[in-house]
Amino acid sequence: MGMVDAPLTLAELLPNAAAITVLTGAGISTDSGIPDFRGPQGVWTKDPAAEAMSTIGAYLADPEVRRRAWRSRRDNPVWGAEPNAAHAALVELERAGRLRALITQNIDGLHQRAGSGAGTVLEIHGTLRDAVCLSCGLRTPMPEILRRIDAGEDDPPCAECGGIQKSATISFGQPLDRDVLDAAVTAARSCDLFLAVGTSLTVQPAAGLCLEAVEHGARLVIINAEETPYDGLADAVLRRPIGETLPRLAGIALGGGR
């Protein structure tokens, strides 16, 4: 299938899609002031050492990495970020009964803040909004731990067992949550339109969900600033800004035609 960027094609695809599965990446949250990781202004592009904070071995072995990680969590732009028009467009699709699932690689919780249902959102890389103990598994809302950072602790141990805590995100070297991943694969296989938004589609297994969807008969639409490895599979590829494009597509899908 060729790459097309034709409103006519989208006007045909979108209104007829009864079960839409969406995969979102960092690009949907940049309008909310949250930088991506791998882009020109990305967190890891500008500071390669920051990647160590997201690697479980280094995190467990080195208290200095943990201290730096806690400071980074405290100062994360997530805490001041608000959902944007693209997040809101997906809420509209869900409320209209058109969304099969909303799979996100993001850890910012902005989909839920925008009004997406907790049962609809599948956070395959976890969330920054909770902390988890790596020994006993206790989950604590992140703001509670950050208050301890502000009070002077630099590597706060678990209140229950004294173990090492980190954000409830999936670090390099940690397994994904099998239940969440299974639900994501099922959603990819059982949709008639798969929409990939703001993701480079380079991180597996998230990227492979595009292939799962297409192999099970879904149409594929990709909205991303840069090329992705899956563009050649797509029925439509759009390079325009997500904050304008996604609300327009939701409008077409819901019959408003905006």
- Please name which of 127, 123, 130 lies closest in space to residue 104, comparing C-alpha atoms: 123
Q: Is the CB of residue 218 less than 8 Å from the CB of residue 16? A: no
Q: What is the CA radius of gyration of the chain?
A: 19
The structure tokens listed for 30 are 């940049």
Q: Name the active-site residue from 87, 111, 125, 216.
A: 125
Q: Catalytic site residue 216?
A: no
Q: Is the CB of residue 131 less than 8 Å from the CB of residue 166? A: yes
At position 24, the amino acid (one-letter code) is T
CA dihedral 79, 85, 91, 97 (to 10 degrees): -160
Beginning with the edge strand found earlier in the chain, give each strand of the sheet holding 139-141 in spatial order: 139-141, 126-133, 165-169
Residues carrying an active site annotation = 125
